[in-house]
Amino acid sequence: MTEIRSGTVLPARREDITLHTDDGLALVGELALPESTPPVATLVTLHPLPTAGGFMDSHVLRKAANRLPALADLAVLRFNTRGTASPRGTSGGEFGDGVGERADLAAAMRFVTERGLPDPWLVGWSFGTEVALKWGREHAVAGVILLSPPLHRTSDEEVAAWAGFPGPVVAVVPELDDFLRPDDAARRFAVAPDIEVIGVDGAKHLWVGENATRRVLAEIVARVNPGVLPLPTEWPDA
């Protein structure tokens, strides 16, 4: 058995993809699927702020794609929003400050539909939570997971629109976040009482360290496919 560590890449079917937006942009991305079984659900991931270094390979999202197809039978879709670059390539267009990205999310959800991927969940991190909260209500999603939501670009009205949403909406908020801490998050999200706010002791906005990564991935899986918990920390040697 080998310990699952930061750089571990577990078996999956991985495919480079291109999403096409209604305003004519090509967005680069990757779809990771369980190696030999159909996925039970799909994570549509939305990365942190590209003007501050966020992209589809931001570490929590990369590790989700590296691990969760194998550990939790999940499909993981990652992509660079408009104007964002990563080793996979650069998406067309320019940063839209959360507004232009409406079309990027729509392109991702259209891809999910066209590929017949099951039960899509939005998983946003930081800026990605703003895109999810602003525009996710326009799509048929099973639930929403918000990692380190700053609520900078999200109005109280946009948060309130999630009141009565039939699926889970969960905000996972670091105790030591740079932008929004658990008590303030509870107050901001109170306009949509069904949103669950989970404070994580000792954690910071960037979820640095393997313990933080494991906690985040466990919180995701607890909502999307809880029957596979606890997630293994080791993987059989080939």
Per-residue pLDDT reduced to its tens digit, 15-30: 999 999 999 999 999 9
2-226 — its CATH code?
3.40.50.1820
Q: What percent of the chain has pLDDT over 70?
A: 100
What are 138-147's pLDDT values in tens digits? 999 999 999 9
Which pLDDT belongs to residue 237?
85
Does residue 159 carry a pLDDT above 90? yes
Q: Is the dihedral of CA 82, 85, 91, 92 positive or negative?
A: positive
Domain edges within the chain: 2-226
Residue 81 reports pLDDT greater than 80:
yes
Global confidence as pTM: 0.98
What is the rounded average pLDDT of the residues 168-172? 98
Phi, psi of 75 (to 5 degrees): -85, 140
pLDDT at residue number 106? 98
Q: At 67, phi and psi to the nearest 5?
A: -120, -45
Whether 238 shows a pLDDT value over 80: the answer reads no
Average pLDDT over residues 46-61: 98
Sign of the CA dihedral running 235, 213, 15, 70: positive
Q: Is 197 helix (H, G, I), strand (E, B) or coil?
A: strand
pLDDT at 78 over 90: yes
Pairwise CA distance, residues 182 & 174, whole Å: 7
The rounded distance, in Å, linking the Cα atoms of 131 and 44 is 12
Mean pLDDT in the chain? Answer: 97
Within 10 A of 227 (CB to CB), how many other CB atoms are there? 8
**pLDDT surpassing 80 at residue 112:** yes
User: Computed over its alpha carbons, how large is the radius of gyration of the chain?
Assistant: 17
CA–CA gap between residue 93 and residue 207 (Å, rounded): 29
Q: Is 104 exposed, middle or buried (0-12, 13-18, 19+ CB in 10 A)?
A: buried
pLDDT in tens, 61-72: 999 999 999 999
Nearest to 150 by CA among 196, 123, 184: 184
